[in-house]
Copies of this chain bind each other. A is one copy, B any other.
């Protein structure tokens, strides 16, 4: 498999040089040293060739999510980081593919499809972990959608300027997103006033030992805020 992915990288380089449209499957097969028929058997299609590594990655992510014993938030974060790091580790192929995508709308669309696979994987996993009824389903659907969108956004940022800082930035943003979602949807605890319409939503982030401590903090913060 490793050698196969290495070959994929060379073929992506070839496509870059000769152009996506200008390079026929016959040429690719010839360079790969296989027949046209075998090319389709192995890679599926000309497009699939370019994203062959994602199939591998999707399996890894699937395995990780299935086996992890982290809590939902940690597993979600680690899953996202797993995918992000994977792109950064295969820098050569990732960058070559990115250059190639600039040439072809068809390929950019295909990339969007791939990211949908990740989204679906995360969504289904969240649904099994949280349940797929009512609010929990919204969390699963929304968080998966938002998280993958965030991932793609930071990956694009990295592609424009490959630096390791972005990895850390992404991790922070991912944490924040997950926190906002899970606490906002009361997955890990939310308390609202029951007497009337909503007045304030209080999200507890740490251990609360004393109720008055919270009130003091709220009072202090509101005082700072008010004119």
What class of interface size applies to chain A in its complex with B?
Answer: 35 or more
Is B194 within 8 A of A200, CB to CB?
no
Given the complex, which residues of B lie within 8 Å of A211, measured CB to CB?
219, 222-223, 226
Query: Which partner residue on chain B sits nearest A156 by CB separation?
Result: B141
Distance from A16 Cβ to chain B, minimum over Cβ atoms (Å): 24
CA distance A211 to B200 in the complex (A): 11
Asked if A201 CB lies within 8 Å of chain B CBs, one says yes
Asked if A213 CB lies within 8 Å of chain B CBs, one says yes
Given contacts A149-B142, A202-B202, A203-B203, contact A195 B173 (CB under 8 A): no
Asked if A184 CB lies within 8 Å of chain B CBs, one says yes
Given the complex, which residues of B lie within 8 Å of A191, measured CB to CB?
218, 221-222, 224-225
In the complex, per-residue mask of A143-177: 1 if CB is within 8 Å of any chain B CB, else 0: 11111111001000000000000000000010011
